[in-house]
Structures are given as C-alpha cells and as structure tokens.
Amino acid sequence: MVTAAGSLGPLRDLAPLLGPLAVIESVRTLPVLPVAFAHAKIVHVMAGRSRVRTAEGERMLTAGDVMVLGGGAWCEAVPSPQVRTWTIYLEQEFMVRHMLWALPAEPERVLPGLHPDEWDGRTVFFRPGEDLFARLEPLWRRMSAFPHRGGPESVAAVMALFARAVELTVPALVTDPSRPMPFAAGVIGRLSDVPAVPEAERAAGLLREDLGRAWTVEELARAVALSKSQLTRRFVQGYGLAPMRWLAEARTTEFSRLIEETVLTVEQAARRVGWADRRVAAAWFRRRYGVSPTEFRRQSPSACAGEAPCVLCRGGRCVWRPTA
C-alpha cells in the first residue's frame, strides 16, 4: 500500500525562476501545511477543489478560480480530494510593474484589490473561469517547457508568452472590458498564438487519462483518426509541443506528486507514470526543479525548498505558528 511521505509539500515552491518568473503545473492530494515564500504567486485552479487558509481567512477554491499571494504571504491548502493547478511564480516588483503597464490607470475600472495602487501583497481571489483557463493553459505549458536555467533566448520566449497571457487575462480583471486598454493589443508571432485545436485537445485528454501507457505517436494518431504528421502538426498548433514532449511534461507533473506525496521508490514512481527507466524520470524532474528526486527527498521536511528561503524560516527551521 502507498502511504503518505509527509504533508509539507515543498515541491510546489521548488521552482527556480527563469528570468523574473517560473510556471509550474502541480497535482496534489495531500494537505499543504502553512508556508510562505519570497516570491509572489498566482495560483490557477484547473480541476478539482481545495480549501485554502490565508491571513485573510478561509475559502474553497474550485476550477476557474485564481488566488494571488504577495511575497511573504502564507497559505495552507487541503485538497478535496485532489486539485490540479498552474502556478506562476514572479518577482513581486516585476509583477507590480506589469500590472501598471497592463491595467487601466483608474482603480475603479479594476476588480477590487487588484489595482497596483491598492494591492499591498495581501491574498486576493477572483474568478476568470474555466473557458479562459483553457485558452491560457497552452501558453503556460509552453512556458514551463523551457529548462529552468535556460539562456537569453529562453527568457525572451517566456517573456513573450507571458505578455500574451496577460493580454488574454486583462479583460477578466476590469469592470468594463469594452473600454480601451492601456497596452498595445496583439502580441504577434507563432510562439504566442493559441488557436483552439479540438483534435489536439482530444489527444491530450487521452494521454492525461492514461499516463502509464506506453504511448506511441502512431497509436495516439489512430485514436483520434489522424495521420502521424497531422497529429503532430495539430498538437504543435494547439500546445506548442509535439505529442510525446507534451506527454513527458504531463508525466513529470504526476511523477513529482508521487515523489512528494508517497513513499514509492523513484523507479516505482517512474513506472507508475510510464517511464521504464528511472534515469529518464530523474532527468525530467531535474530539468523542471533543478535537483534530482533523491536530492529532493533528502531535504529536511521542516525547511522550505527553493532558491529563495521561506521568509518565515530562521536557521532552517519554520517559525510560523498558527494563530488561535
């Protein structure tokens, strides 16, 4: 029987920034104890539910919800029973400057608490909805695919994708989206284009439902009634990645959950998600988080992980204490 290895859940914050930001997909089934990190975070709930508690109180988050936390803002979460999220980690100054650039100057035109003149780092919730998330997820997937220590070209590509994501999101943050926006609309280029491709969405759904299967492009193409070349072309159009690369990213997300939440060996976790060779799984894990699965598990669960230490930790020990 698989048992829980612990409930701190530091992997979600083991996200070295590429330039001023990082984008990480996570799946959780176990509670996350209260912790705070130096970077600001924007958490998008893609599927499932989770009750969260912050300094501002408790709230149940469901698919389509967003939670924004400033650097140093603590949060704990209890999935019910599982939650899948995309989290954007940002340098807070970069985030505020981007808000100033993208949002109207008048605070009354922006949802309460989200205008940079009003936001002081406190936790803010809003609900853009699942339809918008469906348009944003391909961008996040492309952003997350860049190695965490990529060079200038990787940083530039991530910035272009982030700008496109902001452009898509801003109408959900204003009270009257029909009025002119301050930024120049239309980030041009194949990289940031996100057309809806139903065939790619069906194929991605099949992969996600059965990550442990030994998929081939031929088999997947037959399942969606396309040729190999058609499937690859549609997938790149919809997700910016070839099918097997998309599968590797999805497997990495589930493999990460197993490493964090269970006592499965690295080899067992790798096989659970479809990798026969533990070295392949470890390589994808390191590419995303900068450490090996074994190195991650050696870290003390009482100390926060990541390049920036937890702002609530002193000398490697968490000093956070819940208030009554």
In a domain, 259, yes or no: no
Q: Which domain holds residue 155?
A: 10-191+298-311
Residue 185 has pLDDT above 50, yes or no: no
Best-predicted range by mean pLDDT among 185-194, 222-231, 299-308, 314-323?
Answer: 222-231
Q: What are phi and psi of 191, to 5 degrees?
A: -60, -40
In a domain, 205, yes or no: no
CA distance 65 to 14: 23
147, two tokens? 């190695």
* pLDDT tens, residue by residue, 230-270: 999 999 888 888 999 999 999 999 999 999 889 999 999 99
Please name the residue ranges forming H helices in the chain: 92-102, 130-144, 152-169, 198-209, 217-223, 228-239, 243-261, 266-272, 278-289, 293-298
Provide the 3-class DSSP secondary structure of residue 22.
strand
The predicted structure's pLDDT at residue 68: 94
CA distance 88 to 41: 6
Count how many Cα atoms sit within 13 Å of the Cα of residue 281 in the half-sphere of its side chain. Answer: 26
Provide the 3-class DSSP secondary structure of residue 23.
strand
Q: Are 264 and 254 in contact (CB under 8 A)?
A: no
| R_g of the chain computed on alpha carbons | 20
Q: Domain with 187 in it: what CATH number?
A: 2.60.120.280
Q: What are phi and psi of 24, to 5 degrees?
A: -135, 130
The predicted structure's pLDDT at residue 224: 93
In a domain, 284, yes or no: no
In a domain, 23, yes or no: yes
DSSP secondary structure of 43-70: EEEEEEEEEEEETTEEEEEETT-EEEE-
The predicted structure's pLDDT at residue 267: 96
Share of the chain above pLDDT 90, in %: 43
CA distance 158 to 144: 9
In a domain, 249, yes or no: no
In a domain, 241, yes or no: no
In a domain, 76, yes or no: yes
The predicted structure's pLDDT at residue 316: 46
- Taking residues 64-84, what's their average pLDDT? 92
Tally the domains of the chain. Answer: 1
Task: Give which of 18, 39, 43 is closest to 28, Cα–Cα.
Answer: 43
* pLDDT tens, residue by residue, 28-57: 999 988 877 778 899 999 999 999 999 889
**Alpha-carbon distances, residue 251 vs 161, 167, 246, 264 (angstroms):** 23, 29, 9, 15
In a domain, 173, yes or no: yes
Residue 284 has pLDDT above 60, yes or no: yes
What's 257's DSSP letter?
H
CA distance 301 to 148: 23
Share of the chain above pLDDT 70, in %: 79
